[in-house]
């Protein structure tokens, strides 16, 4: 198909053809085309089928305002063909279509519209109720848009995010937005300018009308060049705004081109002020069969010709309601497109003199006070019926394209999300802000201005207004006042056309108010008849504005039509709430870049070299086990009988010092922390205000008012916040330093641990010099000083070495070398978990939960009950539930020989009652039987008690087995091995 | 929902950087003779007024300070 050569306004490069396919048919477009313009240029007229009635739909808007042209592109559904730029090799499929969109199998549904009145989904097909699931699945199959493939990968391309800060966010890169950005930039403010199209200039980029001696597109081009050159104006094109939020946070996304390092980028701009210059869009004219392929908005036909060089039709009828529509018709005529007639909903005399003169110069039939009342033709427009708005005679014309609108309406979505108060203006016949939130300014054609000078001046006024608001460095006060005076002298907002719908509406034909949801004029009447007589209710009931168009196309018309049908004045009409996102970023973009942000221990590569299987544990990647045995039998046996080494670097490590350090420790720890001594580890725990166990660790005094302490890995990140929060009223003088990432640690555990350590250091580490729970500073290898803590979490003789993270790989090498003769091997978190459970040591979150307190899990011994002075966090709660009946207690279980093995989480039952659950259970080689740690009600929590475990094999199919309660300290209950 | 808070150390920052620490409810009560009911009243009971209230916020993604500010939960804005 031949294309027009529109000259300088053209964005398409005809020297660069791009091959793509539609429904498997090869087609050619050009670089610079959107998918929609390429398809239209290749002769495609039916783009898809409508949601409910499966009516054929064509290209209606050019800015992604209707869902008619949503396509599946390269397998990704619901891509907006109108705004997606064409790339070579795209495979494009229409949606909601069985087969070719011209011969859709469900096309017959259009004749059954009586079965689908407004809100039918809520009140039809529900009786008899048993049949509803059948109807529902049928309806869902026939209606809808794109289809997701559960197996497909949609996170293609790089998705990034960006956080911006600006004094001014200008939304809209048309002449007003550019003028505002320049004025604000000249005042010394940092400006971000967001434009959703690929090019600055807005509507002026395709208008060729001469204005003050040059065509408008050149005027816009010159302004754009100044904006691009301005130092503190940051321009973002292809960046639709999704909403404006509290305190002027502007969010949106940028669509990447081939030169960008991303496919799509989510951005958020925290701006002191916002200038909204979003411009206008066509207000659809509601008439009979206004959805036929071949009916389109003024801007669509105009841009097809001017921007993309596509001939929109051979014989074009125009039904418009403002001067811009007339200008478009005249321009198309100049380009050699045959204009059948132009109807203007306004009476004669309301047209601007210049366009009227231009119109008179041409031999185009002109009908003021008339509008198109019906499109003729089923799968394609073949003609139309023109009618006078005063009633009276109608006349039929042949045409293959019908360009219709009811004038322009401001794009108020951004103002609405910014919570501006809007009201219908009877002069411009659009919604105008009556009250703006602090720091929000409006400029440009959305205020009703039509004269290019006025539009630019309004931008300058907004720009200097913003500068005044921000206290920018204005050159002079007079300089700021000048644009306001200048703007006052220019033409103000033009009068709009208040036409609500075309004449003779709804007589035996569908007239669509909302194309996306197949909402007709008749549906509005049905909705009102059922008492749902305001837009917000009709929206929920009949779906107006619920579709991808979200308010944009249906909004103003729906409100006006409802007010008209109710017999109320049109200015009482209020549109439905506009909800973000205003543009549609892909879910993959919102999901984020998807990279896993984690910490690695200093020994990560050493562990990986030994076959570690890593799992995420909190912020860290940690070695779960080594080799392919997830039950870790060999690792466990090696620790019990020989010696193993664990990378425990994620352990929380802190220093607290200052005159009030002890007070702070007393506040958060349950024990009497004044008993913490130099060279000795004091084990204690923290509770929250409900007495629940939050954390445990050891504290070592290192000097007067100076302590070193450890926390569990999971709590390391919260500890500073916790200390500071619980001492926030006390004005205490202490410093808390998080050393977790600074220090790495290694745990050498097993009967041979001391013999390995002796080879590393000359310090005396004998049982007398270095007893259980001692803490020493020892020198290892070539003079690395390490804190060495003799602890026993895994129930064996063990030494924990804490040293600066950069030295830890060196220590690791030393340990592995020294232990080689013994057959030392690393063990992972799973082995540690089994080892500590055999010993009956709890892990917070595994054997403790919201319902249990410190005393419930058998750690009440550490609580200093006498201390009321330091106001320990959790002490009052522990006191209150000390003797409370019905509490859960931690017990050990020995599962009966040969009985079914429980799993972590298996329920403990007493008859029909649940009386607890198994927290951790393993089959132990060390013990020779299956043990478990369980939380059970106090009345069952005594040694020797026989309890029942309930296994659910399949839903409803339960099997019970028996276990005996015992002390949780299964292994080495007297702690001889720890002290050996 | 998005707003900004004024950290006494770092100045105005996005709310993303902060952790909420609840309403100001006075210092931790003396524990001598503290009844369970009084304790739970202090830890659990909150009024939800539609007017500015004093609150604690923690600048966890910044300087790590706990501070008090007066904020109107109806508008999410700090009140000065």
Taking an 8 Å cut-off on Cβ atoms, the answer to whether A247 and B77 are in contact is yes
Are A923 and A902 within 8 A, CB to CB? no
Q: Identify which of A690, A725, A880 has the shortest CB distance to residue B21.
A: A725
Taking an 8 Å cut-off on Cβ atoms, the answer to whether B30 and A871 are in contact is yes
| Chain A hits for B25, Cβ within 8 Å | none
Buried b (16+ CB within 10 A) or exposed e, A323-333: bbbbbbbbbbb
Query: In whole angstroms, what is the distance from residue A465 CA to residue A459 CA?
Result: 10
Domain covering A885-979: architecture: Beta Barrel (2.40)
pLDDT of residue A883: 83
Rg, chain B, Cα only: 15
Are A478 and A202 within 8 A, CB to CB? no
| Chain B hits for A877, Cβ within 8 Å | 39, 43
Q: Chain A contact for B31, CB < 8 A?
A: yes
Query: Chain B residue closest to A251 (CA)?
Result: B2
Specify if B20 maps to a domain: yes
Query: In whole angstroms, what is the distance from residue A934 CA to residue A893 CA?
Result: 7
Q: Stretch A615-644: mean pLDDT, rounded? A: 94
Nearest alpha carbon to residue A540 among A558, A557, A560, A561: A558
Percent of chain A with pLDDT over 90: 72
pLDDT, one tens digit per residue, over B42-70 is: 998 888 888 999 999 999 999 999 999 99
pLDDT of residue A529: 93
pLDDT of residue A249: 95
Taking an 8 Å cut-off on Cβ atoms, the answer to whether B14 and A690 are in contact is no
Taking an 8 Å cut-off on Cβ atoms, the answer to whether B31 and A868 are in contact is yes
Taking an 8 Å cut-off on Cβ atoms, the answer to whether B64 and A721 are in contact is yes
Does residue A930 have a pLDDT over 90? yes
Query: Cα separations (Å) of A685 from A552, A790, B57?
Result: 58, 18, 25
Specify if B33 maps to a domain: no
Query: In whole angstroms, what is the distance from residue A644 CA to residue A799 CA?
Result: 11
For residue A203, the SS3 value is helix
- Residue A511's region, left for phi above 0, alpha for psi from -120 to 50, else beta, is beta
DSSP annotation string for A73-130: ETTEEEEETTTSBP-TT-EEEESS-SS-GGG-GGGGGGGGGGGS-TTHHHHSS-SSGG
Nearest chain A CA: its distance from B2 CA (Å): 5
Query: Cα separations (Å) of A209 from A172, A206, A220, A336, A915?
Result: 22, 9, 12, 16, 83
CATH number of A287-405: 3.50.50.60
pLDDT band at A651 (very low <50, low <70, confident <90, very high): very high
Query: Chain B residue closest to A689 (CA)?
Result: B43
Find tokens 């004094």 and name the residue: A167
Say whether domain A159-281+410-489 belongs to CATH 3.50.50.60: yes
Chain B interface mutation, best of A246, A688, A738, highest count of B Cβ atoms under 10 Å = A246
pLDDT of residue A594: 75
Q: Stretch A644-673: mean pLDDT, rounded? A: 97
Does residue A100 have a pLDDT over 90? no
Does residue A274 have a pLDDT over 80? yes
pLDDT of residue A940: 93
| Chain A hits for B77, Cβ within 8 Å | 247
* Listed ranges A138-142, A494-498, A509-513; the one with the highest mean pLDDT: A509-513
Say whether domain A1-150 belongs to CATH 3.90.650.10: no
Q: Stretch A471-480: mean pLDDT, rounded? A: 58
Q: Where are the domains of chain A?
A: 1-150, 159-281+410-489, 287-405, 512-587, 608-649+742-836, 652-738, 885-979
Are A643 and A822 within 8 A, CB to CB? yes
DSSP annotation string for A590-646: HH-------EE-TTHHHHHHTTEEEEEETTEEEEEEETT-TT-HHHHHHHHHS-EEE
Contacts of A344 (CB under 8 A, 6+ apart): A320, A321, A325, A326, A350, A351, A366, A367, A368, A369, A370
Q: Chain A contact for B72, CB < 8 A?
A: no
pLDDT, one tens digit per residue, over A310-329 is: 999 999 999 999 999 999 99
Q: Identify which of A270, A690, A869 has the shortest CB distance to residue B14.
A: A270
Query: In whole angstroms, what is the distance from residue A830 CA to residue A920 CA?
Result: 12
Angle (CA) A601 A783 A813, round 5°: 40
| Chain B hits for A247, Cβ within 8 Å | 2-4, 77
Query: Chain B residue closest to A872 (CA)?
Result: B31
Taking an 8 Å cut-off on Cβ atoms, the answer to whether A246 and B64 are in contact is no
Q: Stretch B25-51: mean pLDDT, rounded? A: 90
Specify if B31 maps to a domain: no
pLDDT, one tens digit per residue, over A352-373 is: 888 899 998 998 999 999 999 9
Taking an 8 Å cut-off on Cβ atoms, the answer to whether B43 and A720 are in contact is no
**Among the ranges given (A122-131, A255-264, A890-899, A904-913), the one the predictor scored with the smallest mean pLDDT:** A122-131
Are A13 and A32 within 8 A, CB to CB? yes
Does residue A9 have a pLDDT over 70? yes
Nearest chain B CA: its distance from A869 CA (Å): 7
Edge to edge, what strands does the sheet with A76-80 contain? A25-31, A13-22, A91-94, A70-73, A76-80
How many C-beta neighbours within 10 Å does residue A602 have?
23
Q: Chain A contact for B70, CB < 8 A?
A: no
Are A48 and A71 within 8 A, CB to CB? yes
> What is the 3-state composition of chain A as percent helix, strand, coil, each rounded to the nearest 5?
30, 30, 40
Q: Identify which of A247, A720, A729 has the shortest CB distance to residue B3.
A: A247
How many C-beta neighbours within 10 Å does residue B46 have?
10
Does residue A264 have a pLDDT over 90? yes
pLDDT of residue A478: 53
Query: In whole angstroms, what is the distance from residue B63 CA to residue A724 CA?
Result: 12
Q: Identify which of A728, A729, A868 has the shortest CB distance to residue B32.
A: A868
Query: Chain B residue closest to A881 (CA)?
Result: B36
Query: In whole angstroms, what is the distance from residue A690 CA to residue A373 CA?
Result: 72
Side-chain-side CA neighbours of residue B70 (13 Å): 5
Taking an 8 Å cut-off on Cβ atoms, the answer to whether A721 and B1 are in contact is no
Specify if B15 maps to a domain: yes
CA distance between the termini of chain B: 20
Chain A interface mutation, best of B2, B40, B59, highest count of A Cβ atoms under 10 Å = B2
Q: Identify which of B1, B26, B36 has the shortest CB distance to residue A246.
A: B1
Domains A159-281+410-489 and A287-405 equal at CATH topology level? yes
Taking an 8 Å cut-off on Cβ atoms, the answer to whether B39 and A877 are in contact is yes
| Chain A hits for B28, Cβ within 8 Å | 726, 729, 871
Nearest chain A CA: its distance from B36 CA (Å): 6
Per-chain mean pLDDT for chain A: 91
Find tokens 């410190």 and name the residue: A854
Specify if B21 maps to a domain: yes
Q: Identify which of A247, A724, A869 has the shortest CB distance to residue B66.
A: A724
Size of interface A-B (CB pairs under 8 A): 58
Q: Stretch A524-542: mean pLDDT, rounded? A: 91
Side-chain-side CA neighbours of residue A348 (13 Å): 9
| Chain B hits for A879, Cβ within 8 Å | 36
Percent of chain B with pLDDT over 90: 70
Which spans in A471-545 are helix H? 477-489, 521-529, 535-542
pLDDT band at A653 (very low <50, low <70, confident <90, very high): very high
| Chain A hits for B29, Cβ within 8 Å | 871
Nearest alpha carbon to residue A321 among A275, A258, A389: A389
pLDDT of residue A480: 63
pLDDT band at A952 (very low <50, low <70, confident <90, very high): confident
Query: In whole angstroms, what is the distance from residue B3 CA to residue B15 CA?
Result: 6
- Residue B61's region, left for phi above 0, alpha for psi from -120 to 50, else beta, is alpha
Question: What residues make up the domain containing B15?
Answer: 4-25+39-78
Nearest alpha carbon to residue A485 among A468, A460, A467, A463: A460
pLDDT of residue A131: 82
Does residue A517 have a pLDDT over 90? no
Domain covering A652-738: architecture: 2-Layer Sandwich (3.30)
SS3 assignment for A250-297: EEEEEECCCCCCCCEEEEEEEEEEEEECCCEEECCCCCECCCCCCEEC
CA dihedral of residues A569, A574, A575, A581 (deg, nearest 10): 160
Q: Is A19 exposed, middle or buried (0-12, 13-18, 19+ CB in 10 A)?
A: exposed
| Chain A hits for B34, Cβ within 8 Å | 876
| Chain B hits for A876, Cβ within 8 Å | 31, 34, 36, 39
Specify if B34 maps to a domain: no
CATH number at residue B8: 3.30.2270.10
Return the CATH number of A608-649+742-836, one of 3.30.1360.120, 1.10.760.10, 3.40.50.300, 3.90.190.10.
3.30.1360.120
Query: Cα separations (Å) of A625 from A520, A614, A615, A826, A868?
Result: 64, 8, 9, 9, 45
pLDDT of residue A472: 56
| Chain B hits for A872, Cβ within 8 Å | 31
Specify if B9 maps to a domain: yes
**Among the ranges given (A10-19, A492-501, A820-829, A909-918), the one the predictor scored with the smallest mean pLDDT:** A492-501
> φ and ψ at A18, to 5 degrees?
-125, 130
Specify if B12 maps to a domain: yes
pLDDT, one tens digit per residue, over A879-894 is: 998 888 889 999 999 9
| Chain A hits for B36, Cβ within 8 Å | 876, 879-880
Nearest alpha carbon to residue A106 among A143, A66, A59: A143
Q: Chain A contact for B47, CB < 8 A?
A: no
Number of domains within chain B: 1
| Chain A hits for B43, Cβ within 8 Å | 689-690, 877
pLDDT of residue A899: 85
| Chain B hits for A269, Cβ within 8 Å | none
Question: How are beta strands A91-94 and A13-22 bridged, if at all?
Answer: parallel
Q: Stretch A438-444: mean pLDDT, rounded? A: 95
């Amino acid at each position: 198909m031949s294309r027009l050569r529109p000259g300088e306004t053209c964005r398409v490069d005809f020297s660069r053809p791009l091959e793509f396919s539609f429904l498997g048919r090869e087609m050619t477009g050009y670089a610079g085309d959107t998918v929609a313009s390429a398809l239209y240029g290749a002769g495609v007229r039916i783009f898809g089928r409508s949601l409910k009635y499966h009516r054929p739909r064509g290209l209606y808007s050019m800015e992604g305002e209707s869902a008619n042209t949503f396509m599946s592109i390269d397998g990704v559904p619901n891509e907006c063909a109108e705004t997606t730029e064409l790339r070579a090799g795209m495979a494009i499929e229409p949606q909601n279509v069985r087969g070719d969109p011209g011969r859709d199998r469900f096309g017959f549904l259009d004749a059954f519209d009586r079965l689908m009145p407004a809100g039918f989904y809520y009140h039809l097909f529900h009786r008899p109720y048993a049949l509803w699931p059948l109807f529902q699945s049928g309806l869902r199959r026939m209606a809808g848009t794109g289809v997701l493939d559960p197996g497909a990968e949609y996170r293609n391309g790089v998705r990034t995010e960006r956080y911006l800060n600006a004094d001014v966010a200008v939304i809209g890169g048309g002449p007003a937005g550019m003028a505002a950005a320049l004025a604000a930039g000249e005042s010394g403010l940092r400006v971000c300018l967001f434009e959703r199209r690929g090019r600055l200039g807005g509507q002026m980029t395709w208008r060729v009308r001469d204005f003050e001696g040059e065509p408008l597109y050149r005027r816009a081009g010159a302004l754009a060049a100044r904006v691009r050159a301005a130092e503190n104006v940051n321009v973002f094109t292809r960046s639709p705004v999704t909403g404006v939020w509290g305190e002027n946070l502007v969010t949106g996304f940028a669509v990447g081109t081939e030169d960008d390092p991303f496919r799509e980028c989510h951005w958020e701009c925290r701006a002191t002020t916002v200038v909204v210059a979003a411009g206008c869009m066509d207000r659809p004219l509601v008439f009979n069969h206004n959805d036929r392929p071949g009916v389109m908005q003024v801007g669509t036909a105009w841009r097809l010709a001017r921007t993309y060089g596509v001939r929109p039709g051979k014989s074009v009828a125009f039904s418009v309601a403002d001067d811009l529509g007339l200008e478009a018709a005249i321009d198309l005529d100049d380009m050699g497109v045959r204009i059948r007639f132009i109807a203007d909903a306004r009476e004669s005399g309301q047209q601007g003199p210049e366009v009227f003169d231009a119109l008179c110069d041409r031999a185009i039939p002109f009908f003021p006070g008339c509008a198109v009342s019906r499109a003729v033709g089923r799968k394609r427009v073949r003609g139309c019926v023109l009618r006078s708005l005063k009633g009276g005679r109608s006349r039929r014309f042949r045409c293959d394209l019908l360009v219709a609108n009811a004038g322009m309406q401001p794009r108020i979505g951004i103002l609405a999300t910014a919570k501006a108060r809007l009201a219908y203006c009877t002069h411009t016949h659009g919604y105008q802000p009556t009250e703006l939130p602090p720091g929000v300014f409006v400029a440009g054609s959305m205020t009703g201005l039509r004269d290019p000078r006025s539009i630019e001046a309004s931008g300058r006024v907004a720009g200097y207004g913003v500068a005044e608001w921000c206290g920018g460095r204005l050159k002079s006060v007079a300089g700021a006042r000048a644009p306001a005076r200048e703007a006052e002298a220019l033409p103000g907002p033009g009068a709009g056309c208040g036409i609500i719908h075309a004449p003779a509406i709804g007589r035996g034909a569908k007239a669509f108010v909302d194309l996306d949801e197949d909402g007709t004029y008749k549906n509005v009447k049905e909705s009102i008849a059922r008492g749902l007589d305001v837009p917000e209710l009709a929206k929920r009931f009949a779906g107006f504005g619920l579709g991808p168009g979200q308010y944009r196309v249906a909004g103003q018309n729906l409100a006006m039509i409802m007010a008209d049908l109710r017999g109320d004045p049109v200015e009482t009409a209020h549109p439905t709430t506009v909800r973000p996102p205003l543009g549609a970023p892909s879910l993959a973009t919102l999901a984020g870049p998807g990279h896993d942000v984690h910490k690695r221990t200093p020994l990560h590569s050493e562990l990986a070299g030994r076959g570690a299987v890593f799992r995420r544990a909190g912020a860290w990647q940690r070695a779960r086990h080594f080799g392919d045995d997830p039950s870790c039998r060999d690792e466990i046996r090696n620790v019990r009988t020989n010696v193993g080494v664990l990378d425990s670097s994620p352990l929380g490590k802190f220093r607290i010092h200052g005159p009030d350090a002890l007070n702070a420790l007393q506040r958060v720890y349950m024990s009497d922390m004044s008993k913490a001594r130099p060279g000795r580890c004091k084990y204690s725990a923290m509770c929250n205000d409900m007495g629940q166990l939050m954390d445990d660790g050891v504290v070592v005094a290192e000097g007067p008012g100076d302590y070193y302490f450890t926390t569990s890995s999971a709590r390391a990140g919260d500890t500073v916040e916790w200390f500071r929060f619980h001492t926030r009223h006390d004005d205490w003088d202490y410093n808390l330093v998080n050393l977790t990432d600074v220090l790495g640690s290694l745990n050498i555990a097993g009967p041979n641990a001391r013999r390995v350590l002796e080879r590393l250091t000359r310090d005396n580490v004998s049982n007398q010099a270095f007893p259980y729970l001692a803490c020493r500073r020892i020198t290892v290898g070539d003079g690395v000083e390490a804190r060495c803590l003799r602890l026993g979490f895994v129930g064996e003789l063990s030494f924990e070495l804490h040293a600066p993270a950069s030295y830890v790989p060196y220590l690791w090498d030393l340990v592995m070398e020294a232990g080689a003769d013994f057959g030392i091997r690393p063990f992972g978190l799973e082995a540690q978990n089994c080892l500590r459970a055999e010993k009956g040591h709890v892990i917070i979150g595994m054997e403790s939960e919201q319902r249990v307190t410190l005393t419930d899990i058998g750690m009440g011994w550490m609580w200093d009950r006498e201390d009321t002075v330091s106001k320990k966090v959790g002490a009052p709660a522990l006191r209150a539930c000390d003797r409370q009946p019905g509490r859960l207690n931690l017990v050990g279980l020995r599962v009966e020989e040969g009985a079914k093995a429980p799993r972590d989480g298996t329920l403990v039952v007493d008859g029909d009652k649940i009386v607890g659950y198994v927290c951790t259970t393993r089959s132990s080689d060390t013990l020779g039987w299956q043990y478990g740690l369980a939380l059970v009600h106090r009345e069952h929590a005594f040694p020797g008690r026989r309890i029942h475990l309930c296994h659910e094999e399949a839903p409803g199919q339960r099997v019970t087995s028996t276990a005996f309660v015992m002390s949780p300290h299964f292994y080495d209950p007297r702690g001889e091995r720890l002290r050996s | 929902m998005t707003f900004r808070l004024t950290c006494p150390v770092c100045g105005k920052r996005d709310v993303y950087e902060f952790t909420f620490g609840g309403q100001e409810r006075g210092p931790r009560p003396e524990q001598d003779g503290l009844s369970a009911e009084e304790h739970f009243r202090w830890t659990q009971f909150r009024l939800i007024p539609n007017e500015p209230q004093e609150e604690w916020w923690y600048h966890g993604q910044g300087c790590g300070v706990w501070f008090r500010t007066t904020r109107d939960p109806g508008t999410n804005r700090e009140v000065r």
